[in-house]
């Protein structure tokens, strides 16, 4: 339970420090998501079965919802959108270097999007960047 709380806290912290505001207007989360203190609904996927499915075949991701994919260590992680009909932002976070890269996920694309990371966040298009020029940039988190 403590591990889950830490993951949700980290996701909240990252959302506050890297992204434009997009907090929910209501205290409502889709089934399987938990509301954090920042007003985002989060779902943490930390095992292979959950990570493989991700948001495939999902037709709706309400505003302010984020899916967090987490691995045990930093490694090259590849994401793709083959069976995902939603336009998404995909954020790769490497805590070893404090680097963040946000990419556009194109619905139904089979192109792999790969970066070294430990945590990947998916959200609706435009919810993880301040403007369209932020896609693909490697940003350093400054403490």
Question: Which residues does 116 contact at the CB level (< 8 Å), separation at least 6?
Answer: 74, 75, 76, 77, 92, 94
The CATH number of residue 47's host domain is 2.60.120.1140
The b-or-e profile of 104-128 (16+ CB within 10 A means b, else e) is bbeeeeeeebebebbbbbbbbbbbb
Mean pLDDT of the chain: 83
Place of tokens 């007003």: 39
Query: Residue 57 burial (CB < 10 Å; 0-12/13-18/19+)?
Result: exposed
Q: Can you give the pLDDT at residue 22? A: 47
Question: Residue 132 is part of which domain span?
Answer: 2-140
Question: Does the pTM exceed 0.95?
Answer: no
Residue, of 131 and 27, whose pLDDT is higher: 131
Q: How many structural domains is the chain composed of?
A: 1
| Chain segment 18-66, per-residue pLDDT in tens | 444 444 444 589 999 999 888 899 999 988 898 888 999 999 999 999 9
Confidence of residue 142 (pLDDT cuts 50, 70, 90): low
């Amino acid at each position: 339970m403590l591990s889950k709380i830490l993951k949700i806290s980290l996701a909240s912290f990252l959302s506050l420090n890297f992204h434009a505001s997009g907090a929910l207007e209501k205290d409502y989360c889709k089934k399987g998501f938990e509301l954090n203190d920042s007003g985002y609904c989060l779902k943490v996927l930390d095992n292979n079965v959950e990570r493989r499915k991700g948001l495939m075949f999902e037709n709706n991701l309400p505003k302010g919802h984020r899916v967090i994919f987490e691995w045990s260590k930093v490694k090259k992680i590849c994401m793709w959108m083959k069976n995902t009909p939603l336009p998404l932002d995909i954020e790769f976070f490497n805590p070893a270097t404090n680097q963040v890269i946000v990419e556009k996920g194109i619905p139904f694309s089979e192109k792999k999007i790969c970066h070294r990371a430990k945590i990947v966040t998916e959200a609706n298009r435009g919810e993880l960047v301040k403007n369209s020029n932020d896609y693909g940039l490697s940003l350093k988190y400054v403490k």
